[in-house]
Amino acid sequence: MGTMNNFIKMNKKYLLWFAQEHIEFRREEIMSLVSLFNIKMNFVEEPTLEQPFWVVEFLNEDDVHLLANRSVSLRSCIELLTFAKSVKGLHENLKTFSTDYVKLLFDDNKSFKIEVETFGKHFTHSEKVNKLQAFDYLPYKGKVKLKDPDTLFYYIEYYGTDPTCPPKEPYDVYFGRWIINGLRQLVKKFSLKTRKFIGNTTMDPQLSFLMANQAKVKKGDLILDPFVGTGSLLISAAYFGGYILGTDIDYLMLHGKTRPSRISQKVREKDESIKANMVQYNLESQYLDVMVSDFAAWYWKDSLKFDAILTDPPYGIREATEKIGIHKEAYTISEEHLATHIPAKIEYGISQMYFDLLKFSCKHLKIGGRLVCWFPVFREDYTVESLPSSNCLKLVANSEQILSKYTSRRLLTYEKIKEPGEVDLDNEITIADFREKYFMLREETRKEKRIKKAQEKYENYQQYLQKKENK
C-alpha cells in the first residue's frame, strides 16, 4: 500500500510514536493493519525508516484506537495540538491554536500533567523543568497530578537517532494530548522466559505478533503453520482470534520428546506441548490440532481453504530440512514390516521447499489470504528477483532482519490474487542453496582464523628470537 496522500481532506493530526525495535517491520505492520480495518490515513510528512515519530491524519479517534489495540510496534498515539521544526516555532503555533479547544482540555474539573521527552539527546531534570516552564501561557485551571491525571500532555523534542552526535537544536518538536498506548505489553506477557514449551528455534514473541498482524489475522480465521516447531506463531494468531492448525515432520518435537533448550532444565516435563502453551495463555478455545506431517506429501482436500499461512521454514542450519524418501531405487517394504515401519528421510532442498510452500498457498489460501514466511539470504547476493514468486501471489511486504555480517532473513508477505491454473502450479523456482554456502563460508572463516592464529604464533616466536639475540 502506498502513502495514501491527498485522497481525502482531514483536519486532526496525530503523532504515532514507535518503539526502537525491529524498525524494518513497523511500516509493513501499520500498513497491514490500516488495510485490515479499512482505516483512512494520510502521511502529513513522509517518515524515514529510522524515524520513530510519524505525523499522520485520521478521520476520527476511533481509528487511532483500532490501530493501537493491534500494533506491537507502536509505543503511543498522541493527538497533536501543534508541531514545528524549532522550539520557538512550536510555542508560536501553540499560542495561536484554537483557544476554545485548549480551554476545554485544561478544564478546571480535570487534572493534568505535561511530560517532557527528549529523543536522541540527554537533558537533566532541571533542564526539563525549564522547558516545562516555557508553557506558562497555557490556560491552566485544573490541578496538576503526576500519577494517572485526567489529561496527559507530551512535549517532545526529536534530535535524531544518533545520540553520540546530536545537533544543537532539535529537528522536530511536538506537543499534544496522549490518547492510547500500543500493545507493547504483549512482548513481556508472552516472554519465552516464562513460556511452558519452547525449543532452540522458537520465534521471538514480538516477531510472532508482527507476523500475525502482517497476515491480517482476525477473529474466526483459519490459520496454518506447516513447519510449526514449538508453535510460537500459532500463539499470536490465536491471540488475535484465529483458529489454529500446525504440522511438522519432527515427531519428537511435536510430542515434547526433544532435549530441553533451557540450560537449567535436564528433562522435559510430561505436559510440555504446543497445547500446553495454549492452556497457559487461556487460548485453548482457538486450538484445533497439530499433526505429524511431511509437507512434501500433502494430504489436504483441494476444497480446504485457509485465511492465512504463517511459517518459518527450516534453513538446514540449526534444524534439519527433511522429507520422507529413500535414495534406493525400486525399494519396497514387506507386508509384515508395514505396521512397525518408520519411513526414512532425505534432504528437503530449499528450492523445492519454497516451491512447495508457494504452490500449497496458491491452492489452499482464500482469495485475499496471506502467506507470511521467513526467507534466508546472503546479503551480498540478495536481489528482489532472487525471492520465491508465483503468478497467483503478490509480494506486498518485504523486510530484513540482519543475522550476521554476511547473512539475514527477510520476512515476506504474499497476498493471493487469483486461483491457480496448471501452469501456475508447475512453474518450479530455483533458489540458491543457503545451507551449502553457509557451511562453506563458515569453513572458510575457520580456515582463515587458523591461518591468522598460526601467523601470529610465528610472528611472536620471531620477536622472541630477536629479543634473545639482542641480549
> d(Cα 46, Cα 55) in Å, to the nearest integer?
8
DSSP code per residue over 55-75: EEEES-HHHHHHHHTT-SSEE
Task: Tell me phi and psi for residue 263, to 5 degrees.
Answer: -60, -40
Mean pLDDT along residues 147-171 = 94
Q: Are 41 and 64 in contact (CB under 8 A)?
A: no
Residue 154 pairs with which residues in a beta bridge? 115, 176
> Are 35 and 66 a contacting pair, CB within 8 Å?
no
- Percent pLDDT > 70 in the chain is 91
Helix (H) or strand (E) holding 130: helix 125-133
CA distance readout (Å), 422 to 62, 359, 360, 362: 45, 11, 13, 11
Q: Are 307 and 223 in contact (CB under 8 A)?
A: yes
Integer Cα distance of 222 and 224 in angstroms: 7
Q: List beta partners, residue 177.
A: 79, 153
Determine whether 305 is exposed, middle or buried from the number of CB atoms within 10 Å of its CB (0-12, 13-18, 19+). middle
CA within 13 Å, CB half, 118: 20
Q: How far is CA 181 from the centre of its chain?
A: 18
Give the model's confidence band at 426: pLDDT under 50 very low, under 70 low, under 90 confident, else very high. low
**Beta-ladder partners of 113:** 152
Give me the mean pLDDT over the 62-68 stretch. Answer: 97
* pLDDT recorded at residue 80: 94
The answer to whether residues 346 and 209 belong to one domain is yes
Within a domain: 65? yes
Q: How confident is the model at residue 4 (pLDDT cuts 50, 70, 90)?
A: very low
Using one digit for the tens of pLDDT, what is the confidence trace for 15-39? Answer: 999 999 999 999 999 999 999 999 9
Q: Which residues pair with 245 in a beta bridge?
A: 224, 289
**pLDDT of 348 above 70:** yes
pLDDT band of residue 340 (cuts 50, 70, 90) is low
Question: Is 121 in a helix, a strand, or coil?
Answer: coil
The pLDDT tens digits for 87-117 are 999 999 998 887 778 878 888 888 999 999 9
pLDDT-based confidence at residue 201 (cuts at 50, 70, 90): confident
Rounded CA gap, 339 and 335, in Å? 8
Which amino acid, residue 341? H
Q: Within a domain: residue 461? A: no
For residues 145 and 46, state if they share a domain: yes
Alpha carbon distance 283, 335 (integer Å) = 43
Query: Could you report the per-residue pLDDT of 242-284, keeping only the tens digit for each?
Result: 999 999 998 888 888 888 888 888 888 888 899 999 999 999 9
Q: How far apart are CA 418 and CA 363, in angstroms?
A: 10
- pLDDT for res 3: 40
Q: In which band, very low, low, confident or very high, does the pLDDT at 5 lie, cut at 50, 70 and 90? A: very low
Which amino acid, one-letter code, is at 68?
A
Assign 367 to helix, strand or coil: strand
Does position 318 have pLDDT exceeding 80, yes or no? no
What digits encode the pLDDT tens for the residues 352-366? 899 999 999 999 999
**153 and 275 both lie in a single domain:** no
In the structure, what pLDDT confidence band is assigned to residue 124 with cuts at 50, 70 and 90?
Answer: very high
331 is written with which cell numbers? 525399494
Question: What rounded mean pLDDT belongs to the chain?
Answer: 88
At 431 the pLDDT is: 73
Closest CA to 210 of 77, 22, 51, 403: 22
Q: Do 101 and 241 fall within a single domain?
A: no
| Residue 338 per-residue DSSP state | G
Residue 465 is assigned to a structural domain of this protein = no
**20 in any annotated domain:** yes
Residue 357 lies in a domain: yes
Is 418 domain-assigned? yes
Q: How confident is the model at residue 6 (pLDDT cuts 50, 70, 90)?
A: very low
Q: Are residues 137 and 234 in the same domain?
A: no
Concatenated DSSP letters for 119-184? ESS---HHHHHHHHHTTTTS---S-B-SSS-SEEEEEEEE--S-TTS--SS-SEEEEEEEEEE-ST
Asked if the structure places residue 458 within a domain, the reply is no
* Cell digits of residue 145: 497530578
Q: Which of 216-230, 308-322, 429-443 is predicted most confidently? A: 216-230
Residue 245: other Cβ atoms inside 10 A? 22
Q: For residue range 286-310, what is the model confidence (pLDDT) as tens digits?
A: 999 999 999 988 888 989 999 999 9
* pLDDT of the residue at 213: 98
Q: Is the pLDDT of residue 1 over 50?
A: no
- SS3 state of residue 50: coil
- Give the list of residues 6+ apart from residue 235 with CB closer than 8 angstroms, or none: 190, 205, 208, 277, 278, 281, 283
Q: Domain range for residue 73?
A: 13-183
Task: State the CATH number of the domain containing residue 62.
Answer: 3.30.2130.30
**Residues with Cβ < 8 Å from 249, sequence gap 6 or more?**
292, 293, 294, 295, 322, 323, 324, 345
Cα–Cα distance list, 285 to 243, 278, 281, 383 (Å) = 8, 8, 11, 42
* Claim to verify: residue 364 and residue 216 sit in the same structural domain: yes
* Chain segment 72-83, per-residue pLDDT in tens: 999 999 999 999
- SS3 for 80? strand
Give me the sign of the Cα torsion angle 270, 271, 272, 275.
positive
Q: What's the CATH code of the domain at 316? A: 3.40.50.150
pLDDT over 60 at 199, yes or no: yes
What pTM does this model have?
0.87
Residue spans of beta strands (DSSP E) within 258-297: 287-292
Q: Which residues contact 332 (CB under 8 A, 6 or more apart)?
A: none
Do 247 and 342 lie in a common domain?
Answer: yes
Per-residue pLDDT tens digits for 133-144 = 999 998 888 899
Quick one: 233 and 375 in the same domain? yes
284 secondary structure, DSSP code: G
66 in a structural domain: yes
Owner of C-alpha cell 491552566: 140
The dihedrals phi and psi of 410, each to the nearest 5 degrees, come to -115, 135
| Total structural domains within the chain | 2
Residue 157 β-bridge partners: 118, 173
Describe the chain by its helix, strand, coil percentages, rounded to 5. Answer: 30, 25, 45
Q: Are residues 167 and 251 in the same domain?
A: no
**Shared-domain flag, residues 246 and 176:** no
CA distance 231 to 273: 9
Do 288 and 420 reside in the same domain of the chain? yes
Q: Are residues 261 and 136 in the same domain?
A: no
